[in-house]
Structure 1
């Protein structure tokens, strides 16, 4: 999070953002009721359970509301900076 951001949608916002920290909790649900039967520790999931491999953070533009991976905002800022130099 130590890089400049630029919203890829509205292309004007460089300062107002919501940082969304993603924390996955692996669970096993009852197929009939939807109740949580088991909540696994991240290092001790069931053999048939794929662990979350998505981004640690998502970013929401504070102007237009777009939610994307953090790297999308960083890459747009880098690309825009290169084009203006």
Structure 2
């Protein structure tokens, strides 16, 4: 979070954001009821359950509401520096 952000959607917001920390939880659900049947640790996933490979942090623009990977906001700010 030490890099500047710029929203790629509204293209004006450089200061108001929501930082969303993501914690993936591997679970097995009952397909009929949605009831939690089993919770897995990252070390004990079964062979048909792939580990989470998404980002740990997402960012929401405080002006327009766009939610994207943090990298998207950083790269857009780098390509449009403040003059």
TM-score, normalised with respect to structure 2: 0.94
Aligned-partner Cα distance in 2 for 1:15–1:32: 45
Shift of 1:46: 1.2
Runs of 4+ in 1 over 2 A off after TM superposition: none
1:30, distance to aligned residue in structure 2 (A): 1.0
Q: Tell me if 1:38 matches 2:41.
A: no
**Deviation of 1:49 (Å):** 0.3
How many pairs align?
83
Partner in structure 2 of residue 24 of structure 1: 24
Q: Distance in 2 between matches of 1:23 and 1:42?
A: 12
State how 1:4-83 maps to structure 2 within 5 Å: 4-81=4-81
Q: TM-score with structure 1 length normalisation?
A: 0.92
Mapped partners of 1:33, 1:63: distance in 2: 38
Unmatched tracts of structure 2, length 5 or more: none
* Bigger proportion of residues as helix: 1
